[in-house]
Amino acid sequence: MKSDEWIIAQLSQQEEDGLVTLIDQYAPLLKSIIRKHLYALPHHQDECLNDVFLAIWNHIHQYDSNKSSFKNWICAIARYRSINTLKKYSKDLTIDSWDEQMEQAYAQTDQPFSKELWEIQLAELLEPLNEKDRALFKDMLESNHTTEEMAQKYHLSQGALYNRISRGKVKLKAFFQKKGENHYE
Protein backbone atom coordinates (compact mmCIF):
# COMPACT_ATOMS: atom_id res chain seq x y z
CA MET A 1 0.00 0.00 0.00
CA LYS A 2 1.49 3.31 -1.09
CA SER A 3 1.32 6.34 1.18
CA ASP A 4 -1.00 9.28 0.64
CA GLU A 5 2.06 11.51 0.24
CA TRP A 6 3.25 9.36 -2.66
CA ILE A 7 -0.19 9.49 -4.29
CA ILE A 8 -0.35 13.28 -3.85
CA ALA A 9 3.14 13.71 -5.34
CA GLN A 10 2.29 11.53 -8.33
CA LEU A 11 -1.02 13.28 -8.95
CA SER A 12 0.66 16.69 -8.64
CA GLN A 13 3.03 15.66 -11.43
CA GLN A 14 0.07 14.33 -13.47
CA GLU A 15 1.50 10.80 -13.27
CA GLU A 16 -1.06 8.12 -14.05
CA ASP A 17 0.53 5.73 -11.53
CA GLY A 18 -0.78 8.01 -8.79
CA LEU A 19 -4.30 7.83 -10.20
CA VAL A 20 -4.14 4.05 -10.49
CA THR A 21 -2.99 3.76 -6.87
CA LEU A 22 -5.66 6.22 -5.75
CA ILE A 23 -8.31 4.09 -7.43
CA ASP A 24 -6.91 0.86 -5.98
CA GLN A 25 -6.74 2.21 -2.43
CA TYR A 26 -9.78 4.46 -2.19
CA ALA A 27 -12.37 3.32 -4.74
CA PRO A 28 -14.34 1.17 -2.24
CA LEU A 29 -14.56 4.02 0.27
CA LEU A 30 -15.53 6.59 -2.37
CA LYS A 31 -18.10 4.18 -3.85
CA SER A 32 -19.72 3.79 -0.44
CA ILE A 33 -20.04 7.57 -0.08
CA ILE A 34 -21.51 7.88 -3.55
CA ARG A 35 -23.87 4.94 -2.99
CA LYS A 36 -25.07 6.57 0.25
CA HIS A 37 -26.10 9.74 -1.58
CA LEU A 38 -27.15 8.23 -4.92
CA TYR A 39 -28.95 5.10 -3.70
CA ALA A 40 -32.00 6.16 -5.73
CA LEU A 41 -29.90 6.69 -8.86
CA PRO A 42 -27.73 3.56 -9.15
CA HIS A 43 -27.21 4.01 -12.89
CA HIS A 44 -25.42 7.34 -12.20
CA GLN A 45 -23.08 6.06 -9.47
CA ASP A 46 -20.24 4.99 -11.79
CA GLU A 47 -20.45 8.28 -13.67
CA CYS A 48 -20.22 10.14 -10.36
CA LEU A 49 -17.23 8.04 -9.25
CA ASN A 50 -15.45 8.90 -12.49
CA ASP A 51 -16.25 12.58 -11.90
CA VAL A 52 -14.75 12.30 -8.40
CA PHE A 53 -11.50 10.83 -9.71
CA LEU A 54 -11.35 13.50 -12.42
CA ALA A 55 -11.95 16.25 -9.84
CA ILE A 56 -9.17 14.88 -7.64
CA TRP A 57 -6.85 14.70 -10.66
CA ASN A 58 -7.70 18.26 -11.77
CA HIS A 59 -7.72 19.87 -8.32
CA ILE A 60 -4.90 18.09 -6.49
CA HIS A 61 -3.06 21.44 -6.29
CA GLN A 62 -5.89 22.71 -4.05
CA TYR A 63 -5.29 20.04 -1.41
CA ASP A 64 -3.89 21.52 1.80
CA SER A 65 -2.57 19.04 4.37
CA ASN A 66 -2.88 21.73 7.06
CA LYS A 67 -6.66 21.81 6.65
CA SER A 68 -7.50 18.10 6.49
CA SER A 69 -6.14 14.68 5.73
CA PHE A 70 -6.01 13.52 2.13
CA LYS A 71 -8.61 10.87 2.91
CA ASN A 72 -11.04 13.45 4.33
CA TRP A 73 -10.42 15.74 1.37
CA ILE A 74 -11.23 13.10 -1.25
CA CYS A 75 -14.27 12.00 0.77
CA ALA A 76 -15.53 15.59 0.79
CA ILE A 77 -15.12 15.76 -2.97
CA ALA A 78 -17.08 12.50 -3.32
CA ARG A 79 -19.84 13.85 -1.11
CA TYR A 80 -20.10 17.17 -3.00
CA ARG A 81 -20.07 15.42 -6.39
CA SER A 82 -22.74 12.98 -5.21
CA ILE A 83 -24.99 15.79 -4.03
CA ASN A 84 -24.48 17.67 -7.30
CA THR A 85 -25.29 14.53 -9.29
CA LEU A 86 -28.40 13.97 -7.19
CA LYS A 87 -29.55 17.54 -7.87
CA LYS A 88 -28.81 17.16 -11.57
CA TYR A 89 -30.74 13.92 -12.03
CA SER A 90 -33.43 14.22 -9.35
CA LYS A 91 -36.02 14.84 -12.05
CA ASP A 92 -35.45 11.22 -13.18
CA LEU A 93 -36.89 9.93 -9.92
CA THR A 94 -40.46 8.81 -9.51
CA ILE A 95 -42.10 7.93 -6.23
CA ASP A 96 -42.33 4.23 -7.15
CA SER A 97 -38.70 3.97 -8.23
CA TRP A 98 -37.63 5.95 -5.16
CA ASP A 99 -39.16 3.39 -2.78
CA GLU A 100 -37.69 0.47 -4.73
CA GLN A 101 -34.25 2.08 -4.82
CA MET A 102 -34.31 2.79 -1.09
CA GLU A 103 -35.09 -0.86 -0.34
CA GLN A 104 -32.22 -1.99 -2.58
CA ALA A 105 -29.82 0.55 -1.12
CA TYR A 106 -30.43 -0.53 2.45
CA ALA A 107 -30.10 -4.18 1.45
CA GLN A 108 -26.66 -3.48 -0.06
CA THR A 109 -25.11 -1.45 2.75
CA ASP A 110 -21.38 -1.97 3.24
CA GLN A 111 -21.11 -2.26 7.02
CA PRO A 112 -17.30 -2.06 7.22
CA PHE A 113 -17.34 1.23 5.33
CA SER A 114 -20.36 2.71 7.07
CA LYS A 115 -18.50 2.92 10.41
CA GLU A 116 -15.39 4.33 8.74
CA LEU A 117 -17.51 6.75 6.73
CA TRP A 118 -19.26 7.92 9.92
CA GLU A 119 -15.89 8.55 11.58
CA ILE A 120 -14.60 10.51 8.57
CA GLN A 121 -17.73 12.61 8.28
CA LEU A 122 -17.83 13.26 12.02
CA ALA A 123 -14.15 14.28 12.08
CA GLU A 124 -14.74 16.66 9.18
CA LEU A 125 -17.88 18.07 10.78
CA LEU A 126 -16.15 18.75 14.10
CA GLU A 127 -12.88 19.99 12.56
CA PRO A 128 -13.32 23.68 13.47
CA LEU A 129 -13.90 22.98 17.18
CA ASN A 130 -11.18 22.79 19.82
CA GLU A 131 -10.26 19.37 21.21
CA LYS A 132 -12.52 19.58 24.29
CA ASP A 133 -15.54 20.67 22.27
CA ARG A 134 -14.89 18.00 19.63
CA ALA A 135 -14.96 15.34 22.38
CA LEU A 136 -18.14 16.84 23.83
CA PHE A 137 -19.97 17.01 20.49
CA LYS A 138 -18.82 13.51 19.48
CA ASP A 139 -20.02 12.15 22.81
CA MET A 140 -23.36 13.93 22.39
CA LEU A 141 -23.86 12.47 18.91
CA GLU A 142 -22.80 8.93 19.75
CA SER A 143 -24.31 8.44 23.22
CA ASN A 144 -27.76 8.44 24.74
CA HIS A 145 -26.78 10.50 27.78
CA THR A 146 -29.09 13.20 29.05
CA THR A 147 -27.78 16.76 29.25
CA GLU A 148 -27.58 16.36 33.01
CA GLU A 149 -25.39 13.25 32.63
CA MET A 150 -23.25 15.02 30.01
CA ALA A 151 -22.78 18.03 32.30
CA GLN A 152 -21.65 15.75 35.13
CA LYS A 153 -19.32 13.80 32.86
CA TYR A 154 -17.60 16.99 31.67
CA HIS A 155 -17.68 18.64 35.11
CA LEU A 156 -19.91 21.50 33.92
CA SER A 157 -23.15 23.01 35.10
CA GLN A 158 -26.05 22.46 32.72
CA GLY A 159 -25.96 26.17 31.87
CA ALA A 160 -22.26 25.97 30.99
CA LEU A 161 -22.93 22.86 28.90
CA TYR A 162 -25.69 24.65 26.97
CA ASN A 163 -23.39 27.64 26.43
CA ARG A 164 -20.59 25.43 25.04
CA ILE A 165 -23.05 23.66 22.76
CA SER A 166 -24.48 26.95 21.57
CA ARG A 167 -21.05 28.48 20.90
CA GLY A 168 -19.96 25.28 19.14
CA LYS A 169 -23.03 25.34 16.88
CA VAL A 170 -22.37 28.97 15.96
CA LYS A 171 -18.73 28.17 15.17
CA LEU A 172 -19.71 25.14 13.05
CA LYS A 173 -22.38 27.05 11.18
CA ALA A 174 -20.00 29.90 10.33
CA PHE A 175 -17.27 27.46 9.26
CA PHE A 176 -19.50 25.46 6.94
CA GLN A 177 -21.17 28.53 5.46
CA LYS A 178 -17.73 29.81 4.55
CA LYS A 179 -16.65 26.38 3.32
CA GLY A 180 -19.83 26.06 1.23
CA GLU A 181 -18.88 29.22 -0.62
CA ASN A 182 -15.48 27.70 -1.49
CA HIS A 183 -16.35 24.03 -2.17
CA TYR A 184 -14.90 22.20 -5.15
CA GLU A 185 -16.97 22.37 -8.32
DSSP 3-state assignment of 129? Answer: coil
Tell me: do 4 and 33 sit in the same domain.
yes
3-class secondary structure per residue, 74-128: HHHHHHHHHHHHHHHHHHHCCHHHHHHHHHHHHHCCCHHHHHHHHHHHHHHHHCC
pTM for the model stands at 0.53
Q: What is the pLDDT of residues 8-43, one digit of tens each?
A: 999 999 999 999 999 999 999 999 999 988 887 888
The residue from 127, 150, 171 where one domain ends is: 127
89 and 156 together in one domain: no
Domain count, the chain: 2
In tens, the pLDDT along 70-100 reads 999 999 999 989 988 888 877 766 544 444 5
- Residues 49 and 85 both lie in one domain: yes
Domain limits for position 44: 1-127
> DSSP string covering 149-174, please?
HHHHHTT--HHHHHHHHHHHHHHHHH
Does 122 share its domain with 132? no
